[in-house]
Amino acid sequence: MASAAEKAPAIASSGSGVVLMFPLPFQGHLNPMLQLADVLRSRGFAITVFHAAFNIPDPERAGGCRFVPVGSEVPVGDLIPTGSDADFAGAILRINERLQGPFQDALREVLLEEEEEGKAPRPVCLVVDSNFRGMQAVAQGFGVPTLVLRTGGAACLVAYMSFHALCDKGVLPPPPSQDQSQLDMPLDDLPPLLLRDMVFSATTPHETMSTCLERILESARSSSGVIVNTFADLEGAELRKIADGVSAPVFAIGPLHRISSGADSSLLIQDRSCLDWLDKQEAGSVLYVSFGSLASMNQEELVETAWGLANSGAPFLWVIRPDLVQGSQKVSTLPGGFEEETRGRGMVVSWAPQQEVLEHSSVGGFWTHNGWNSTLESICEGVPMICRPHFADQMINARYVQEVWRTGFELEGKLERAKIERAVRKLVFEEEGLEMKRRAKDLKNKARRCIEKGGSSEIAIDSLVNCIMSF
Q: Are strands 316-319 and 226-228 parallel, antiparallel or unpaired?
A: unpaired
Least Å distance, CB 267 to ligand UDX, is: 9
The partner residues of 194 in beta bridges, in order of sequence, read: 186
Residues that bind ligand UDX (CB under 6 A): 26-29, 31, 151-152, 266, 270, 290, 292-295, 319, 351-352, 354-355, 371-374, 377, 392-394
- Long-range contact pairs involving 60-67 (C-beta distance under 8 Å, separation at least 24): 61/264, 61/265, 61/266, 62/34, 62/37, 62/263, 62/264, 62/265, 63/38, 63/263, 63/264, 64/38, 65/21, 65/34, 65/37, 65/41
The sign of the dihedral angle between the CA atoms of 238, 241, 245, 251 is positive
Least Å distance, CB 337 to ligand UDX, is: 25
Phi, psi dihedral angles at 349 (to 5 degrees): -130, 165
The smaller minimum CB distance to ligand UDX, of residues 219 and 463, is found at 219
The smaller minimum CB distance to ligand UDX, of residues 312 and 375, is found at 375
Distance of CA 470 to the CA centre of its chain: 29
The smaller minimum CB distance to ligand UDX, of residues 352 and 464, is found at 352
Least Å distance, CB 230 to ligand UDX, is: 12
Least Å distance, CB 371 to ligand UDX, is: 2
Least Å distance, CB 228 to ligand UDX, is: 12
The smaller minimum CB distance to ligand UDX, of residues 90 and 102, is found at 90
The smaller minimum CB distance to ligand UDX, of residues 124 and 324, is found at 324
The partner residues of 251 in beta bridges, in order of sequence, read: 227
Distance of CA 49 to the CA centre of its chain: 19
Distance of CA 255 to the CA centre of its chain: 11
Strands (E) across 118-274 are located at 123-129, 146-150, 226-228, 250-252
Least Å distance, CB 197 to ligand UDX, is: 13
Least Å distance, CB 391 to ligand UDX, is: 7
Least Å distance, CB 149 to ligand UDX, is: 12
The smaller minimum CB distance to ligand UDX, of residues 204 and 270, is found at 270
Whole-angstrom Cα distance, residue 438 to residue 430? 13
The smaller minimum CB distance to ligand UDX, of residues 385 and 460, is found at 385
| Peptide bond before residue 69 is cis, with ω within 30 degrees of 0 | no
Whole-angstrom Cα distance, residue 24 to residue 151? 10
Q: Are strands 408-410 and 146-150 parallel, antiparallel or unpaired?
A: unpaired
